Amino acid sequence: MSAYLNPQKIHQGGNEMQQHDEYNLDALKAIPIEEVLEFYGCESSGKGRFICPNNHTKKAYVSIYSQNNICKCHNCNEVQGDPIAIAKWFNKGDFKAACEDLHEAFRIPFVNSTISPVAKFPLPKRVIEKPKLEYVRFDNQREYTNVDIKKYLPSYSTFKDEQKLKLVYTLIYRFSMKRNQDEKYEYYASRKIEPNHYLSQIGWLSPADIALLCDTLEKYFPLEDLIRFKLYGDASAKRPMQWKYFTKNGFAVVPSFDLYSDMINGLMLRQTQCDATGPKEFQVSCTDISTPLPFAMSPTMLRSNTSVFITEGHIDGLSLSKPFVAFPGVHGYKEEWLGLFQNKKVYIAFDQDSAAKDSIYGTDEREGLRDKLRKAGAKTVDVLHWDESDGGDLNELLKNGNLEEALSEYRF
């Protein structure tokens, strides 16, 4: 039997003494995990799942594994484990407070007692307080910084995690910008996209470039950081130094810039051949360290334009000859970011499918992007519609020769 000491002070004849009770850890871990989640106010969605209480950008679910009496949110990988682990998460890592919660709420006796605690059962469910939403606003007076990363590489070990991550990602991006870009332009030409300002910000890595890049990364950065920043596989793998993203033809490297500097805190790697295996795109980011902004969100765009499109992916944005911000999917945004669209005329140009419509207009369970933008201070919000037979997205409209006609009824 596993136990944990709980010291309690009691008084005898005016003298204070210490009494030790032992939490019955085995019994606490045996409390049905579903009941623990319910106690902390988690809402069941049916089908053996609960809505994750963590602060996700979209609804995420905690899966129940009854055989082992554990649960896990595969989205954040933070809300997971047995009843004590879940109670500990809700108590911000305090193990003793977690044991106390479960001990009192579920009337689990101490190891040295056959008497249950006096606390009522069940206790009222905990109210999960959502953090107050604070919008990110663009500071037009703040200075924009161009950073020479070579200057800071020798001091890498002294930096905080966010600074380290930006140095690593920025080195990758700038490396990709110095490689031969011919194949990049050929790929985007196949999508009927002509060279433009936005396309010039996208890099390129061929398979041979990736091998050289790995040598460069390993020269400047510890392996454990390359793993931690989601670039390499597990160190215990057979080939831990191998670049974890597979491609036979190369990647377009789509950056996420800082808002006030030319450093990078996220990358989207786009495979550029239709016969490429695996996902078309890989998001490279560590949102627990630094959340990347969408592609094309920049001070220049924010200062220079009163109107902006929001597109579902960078290829749709590049298909326009207008200012845009490319979300990595219909739910790929943090609500705080929407404050950057304050006083802008916003045009949402997502795909013409049900997932996009649910994201834009919302559902019974979730508010839509259109209303969120209005709350965040957008001047106007219009949603673009067109005949899906002309093309399912902006790039298909462009390739099919229907883009100009589809947008003709809108005034931009």
Q: What mean pLDDT value characterizes the chain?
A: 87
* Residue pointed to by tokens 């802008």: 344
Helix, coil or strand: residue 74: coil
| Cα–Cα distance for residue pair 316/393, rounded to 1 Å | 7
Give whole-number Cα distances, 385 to 72, 310, 325, 328, 345, in Å: 39, 13, 18, 20, 17
Helix 207-220 / helix 161-177 crossing angle, nearest 10 deg = 150
Cα 297 from Cα 323, distance rounded (Å): 10
Give me the residues paired with residue 268 across strands. Answer: 254, 283
Q: Which residue has the higher pLDDT, 74 or 165?
A: 165
pLDDT tens-digit readout, 41-93: 888 887 788 999 888 767 788 999 988 999 999 888 889 999 999 999 998 89
Mean of pLDDT values over 403-412: 85
Alpha-carbon distance of 359 to 370, in angstroms, equals: 9
Give per-residue pLDDT as tens, 95-119.
999 999 898 888 888 887 655 554 4
252 in Cβ contact with 173 (< 8 Å):
no
Q: What are phi and psi of 173, to 5 degrees?
A: -65, -45
Q: What pTM value is reported for the model?
A: 0.70
Please calculate the CA angle 291-293-299 and round it to the nearest 5 degrees. 135
* Secondary structure (3-state) at 187: helix
**pLDDT score recorded for residue 1:** 55
| Token digits of residue 358 | 């649910």
Give the length of the chain. Answer: 412
Contacts 24+ apart (CB under 8 A), 386-393: 386/352, 388/352, 388/353, 392/351, 392/352, 392/353, 393/312, 393/313, 393/316, 393/350, 393/351, 393/352
For the chain, list the domains and their CATH numbers.
3-105 (3.90.580.10), 145-293 (3.90.980.10), 295-412 (3.40.1360.10)
Q: Which of 235-239, 336-340, 358-362 has the lowest mean pLDDT?
A: 235-239
**DSSP letter string over 122-175?**
SPPPPP-PPPPP------TTSPPB---GGGTGGGGGGS-HHHHHHHHHHHHHHH
pLDDT for 203 beyond 90: yes
Q: Give me the mean pLDDT over the 158-173 stretch.
A: 97
Q: Tokens representing 166?
A: 């930006």
